Chain A
Amino acid sequence: MSSNLPSHEKTIPWIWLVLGLLGACALPFFITNYHVFQVSMVLTYAIALVGLNILIGYSGQISLGHGAFLAIGAYTSAILMDKADMPYWITIPIAAAVCLVVGFLFGLPALRLEGHYLALATFALAVSLPQLLKFKHLEFLTGGVQGIVIMKPEAPWETLFGLKLNSDRWLYFFTLAVTVVMFMIGWNLIRGRVGRALIAIRDQPIAAASMGINTPLYKSLAFGVSAMFTGVAGALSAILVAFVAPDSFTVFLSITLMVGMVVGGVTSLPGALYGALFIQFIPNIADQISKAAPWAIYGVMLILFMYTMPTGIAGLLRLIGQKLRPTHP
């Protein structure tokens, strides 16, 4: 992990952000509903990757099991909507709170573990969660092996500024709003005391402790916050797909999240977005290149990405930006 200052310590090009946001708002009216659905899913992955980034990139721990927090967030939302008849938008903050607590509680014993051992522990979490979801004594809540089917929310208004709204478009805007909020929270966290403490702990743990940083607290907090982001992503994806089942949250999902984070760019907020685009669209592209062995193409692309872009897509863009900017004496 590089010990350079994160890229956003430099000035943000506000103009790009505003343009990007405007473009994102206009997007659903130019593309088909199916593509709107896909882009909404990309946004949820981006939120999850921000969470993973906080844990792996900034606090230097590792997780091969973040799919578990996606599952917890998704199931929280689904159970509240299905069993408690709650409106979908309220389930998001509740899922966030639940995952914050669960993540923090998981982070506490995980403090003793490092590197490979922590990887195994998080892997174990990802593997055992589907079993728990299928457990017959919890079936009344989780729907057991059958999962839970949710009613897909409808748009509250027929039109918005004269443009037609349907369920997909409305959910897209809802997801976009949540994404912007989560990214802002992430941005503030990373730039603030918590972020600096985490980076200090990651790079020089002993020095950080001697400076008075409460290492165990911050490391567990990192787990909790990371889980919270991923939980929100899970809740959103449950609403978008309108179905949760143990089969939706396999170990491969956790691995895919980690892959997306590395490809997008570790320690980079926009990297979360690039990584999300990668994990959503590259498998589809690979499928079109080769019907016989699409995952082989995906694997080759992964390896090529690692050869050519060791700091991720965000890192590559940063390099290009530096080359293009006129050099100052």
Chain B
Amino acid sequence: METFIHQVVAGIATGGVYASLALALVMIYQSTHHINFAQGEIAMFATYMAWTLINAGVSYWLAFTCTILLAFALGVLIQRIIIRPVENAPVLNIVVVFIGLLVILNSIAGWVFTYTIKAFPSPFPKEPPFGLHFISSHELGSIGVTLVLLLMLYGFFKFTPLGLAMRAAAQNPDSSRLVGIRVGWMLALGWGLAAAIGSVAGMMIAPVVFLEPNMMSGILLYAFAAALVGGIDSPGGAVLGGFIVGILENILGAYVIGTELKLSVALVLIIVVLTIKPAGLFGKVIVSRV
């Protein structure tokens, strides 16, 4: 029984990792209606920027803040310079551009920082919370940070005029322009915020999985699945999706099918969920009437 609880809690911890990246995916989707495959690499690159700062002697929280700002700027720059020329291109062309971006960031990170793993510090205490060994303080803290981000994101989109403008720009760019929304800058802002969220995700993930250029590639698939299971336009759904995926994977691996097939079975189950509820558990079902 203790192991079972431990597995569930470990699943929540890993799920927190997926949830934080899933939030970045939701952010980019809600502001641009595209799923950015390069999101993981942007987060990884931002984490390396943080690592460089910390290695140069900057304190953790100062580096943390600087990285968020740098990542924001990076996201905006990428949107303005690289994505803008293909904004109105067929969706497949945009996907290829994302893949190009992914490969470029990965390759440059490998060249500049090499592929050897690096330790990344955690701002949370080393001792496990309440002396229990189910979860480390860092993992608990990361989940907390993810939930704070979630609340901020939810509040931003639901209650602020800027958030409304961003949602409008994504859903109906032409009408938005007619009411005076600067659609181009909304998209750039969306990218910047997504990159910033991704950088936080990266800095929370790196202490657990160790920093290296391929750090995010395994996580991206799970984050993608989590975001879709929860509903790609629902930040809360994405976070919940992350926890569900994490727990599901752990339970399947430990009790049902063994670790050799757990990934396959987890994905099959997710797809089954999606065939039953195509918009995800909490997504909005869009009905088009003919």
A/B touching: CB–CB < 8 A: yes
A binding-site residues for B, Cβ under 8 Å: 1-2, 56, 109, 112-114, 116-117, 119-121, 123-124, 127-128, 131-132, 134-136, 206, 251, 255, 258-259, 262-263, 266, 292-296, 298-303, 305-307, 310
Across-interface contacts of B275 in A (CB, < 8 A):
109, 112-113
Q: Given that A255-B99, A295-B103, A295-B107 are known contacts, is A124 also in contact with B225, CB under 8 Å in the complex?
A: yes
**Min CB distance, B264 to chain A, in Å?**
3
A-B contact pairs, 17 of them (CB 8 A): A113-B275, A120-B225, A120-B271, A127-B221, A127-B263, A128-B261, A131-B261, A134-B260, A258-B95, A259-B96, A259-B99, A266-B92, A299-B103, A306-B100, A307-B85, A307-B86, A310-B93
**Min CB distance, B94 to chain A, in Å?**
8
Q: Given that A131-B261, A134-B260, A262-B92 are known contacts, is A292 also in contact with B111, CB under 8 Å in the complex?
A: yes
The answer to whether the Cβ of B58 comes within 8 Å of any Cβ in the partner chain is no
Contacting B104 at CB < 8 Å: which of A131, A258, A300? A300
Is A302 a contact partner of B278 (Cβ separation < 8 A)? no
Q: For the complex, what is the distance from the CA of A134 to the CA of B262, rounded to whole Å?
A: 13
The answer to whether the Cβ of B274 comes within 8 Å of any Cβ in the partner chain is yes
Q: For the complex, what is the distance from the CA of A136 to the CA of B228, rounded to whole Å?
A: 31
Q: For the complex, what is the distance from the CA of A236 to the CA of B111, rounded to whole Å?
A: 35
Contacting B101 at CB < 8 Å: which of A2, A263, A292, A299? A299
Is A114 a contact partner of B278 (Cβ separation < 8 A)? yes
Is B268 a contact partner of A128 (Cβ separation < 8 A)? yes
Is A116 a contact partner of B99 (Cβ separation < 8 A)? no
B binding-site residues for A, Cβ under 8 Å: 35, 82, 85-86, 89-90, 92-93, 95-97, 99-104, 106-108, 110-111, 221, 224-225, 228, 232, 260-261, 263-264, 267-268, 270-271, 274-275, 278, 290
Closest A residue, CB atoms, query B225: A120
**Min CB distance, A129 to chain B, in Å?**
8
Across-interface contacts of B92 in A (CB, < 8 A):
1, 56, 258, 262, 266
Q: For the complex, what is the distance from the CA of A135 to the CA of B191, rounded to whole Å?
A: 40
Is B107 a contact partner of A296 (Cβ separation < 8 A)? yes
Across-interface contacts of A303 in B (CB, < 8 A):
82, 97, 100-101, 104
**Min CB distance, B104 to chain A, in Å?**
4
Q: For the complex, what is the distance from the CA of A313 to the CA of B90, rounded to whole Å?
A: 15
Q: For the complex, what is the distance from the CA of A119 to the CA of B25, rounded to whole Å?
A: 15
Across-interface contacts of A293 in B (CB, < 8 A):
107-108, 110-111
Across-interface contacts of B225 in A (CB, < 8 A):
120, 124
Across-interface contacts of B97 in A (CB, < 8 A):
302-303, 306
**Min CB distance, A252 to chain B, in Å?**
9
**Min CB distance, A26 to chain B, in Å?**
34
Across-interface contacts of A116 in B (CB, < 8 A):
35, 228, 232
Q: For the complex, what is the distance from the CA of A120 to the CA of B85, rounded to whole Å?
A: 26
Across-interface contacts of A2 in B (CB, < 8 A):
90
**Min CB distance, A262 to chain B, in Å?**
5
Among all A-B residue pairs, the 7 with the closest Cβ atoms:
A128-B264, A302-B100, A299-B104, A124-B267, A299-B103, A295-B107, A296-B107
Is A262 a contact partner of B93 (Cβ separation < 8 A)? yes
Is A120 a contact partner of B260 (Cβ separation < 8 A)? no
Is B101 a contact partner of A294 (Cβ separation < 8 A)? no
Q: For the complex, what is the distance from the CA of A296 to the CA of B104, rounded to whole Å?
A: 4
Is A299 a contact partner of B278 (Cβ separation < 8 A)? no
Q: For the complex, what is the distance from the CA of A293 to the CA of B105, rounded to whole Å?
A: 10
Across-interface contacts of A136 in B (CB, < 8 A):
260
**Min CB distance, B160 to chain A, in Å?**
26
Across-interface contacts of B86 in A (CB, < 8 A):
306-307, 310
Q: For the complex, what is the distance from the CA of A300 to the CA of B99, rounded to whole Å?
A: 10
**Min CB distance, B28 to chain A, in Å?**
12
Closest A residue, CB atoms, query B112: A293
Q: For the complex, what is the distance from the CA of A255 to the CA of B37, rounded to whole Å?
A: 11
Q: For the complex, what is the distance from the CA of A56 to the CA of B95, rounded to whole Å?
A: 13
Across-interface contacts of B232 in A (CB, < 8 A):
116
Is A124 a contact partner of B96 (Cβ separation < 8 A)? no
Q: Given that A1-B90, A306-B89, A306-B97 are known contacts, is A299 also in contact with B274, CB under 8 Å in the complex?
A: no
Across-interface contacts of A109 in B (CB, < 8 A):
271, 275
Across-interface contacts of A114 in B (CB, < 8 A):
278
Q: Given that A131-B261, A132-B264 are known contacts, is A296 also in contact with B35, CB under 8 Å in the complex?
A: no
Across-interface contacts of B260 in A (CB, < 8 A):
131, 134-136
**Min CB distance, A60 to chain B, in Å?**
11
Closest B residue, CB atoms, query A297: B107
A119, A131, A263: which has the most chain B beta carbons within 10 Å?
Answer: A131
Q: For the complex, what is the distance from the CA of A239 to the CA of B269, rounded to whole Å?
A: 35
Is B100 a contact partner of A299 (Cβ separation < 8 A)? yes
Q: For the complex, what is the distance from the CA of A266 to the CA of B104, rounded to whole Å?
A: 24
Across-interface contacts of B89 in A (CB, < 8 A):
306, 310
Across-interface contacts of A310 in B (CB, < 8 A):
86, 89-90, 93
Across-interface contacts of A255 in B (CB, < 8 A):
99
Q: For the complex, what is the distance from the CA of A121 to the CA of B275, rounded to whole Å?
A: 10
Closest A residue, CB atoms, query B279: A117
Closest B residue, CB atoms, query A129: B264
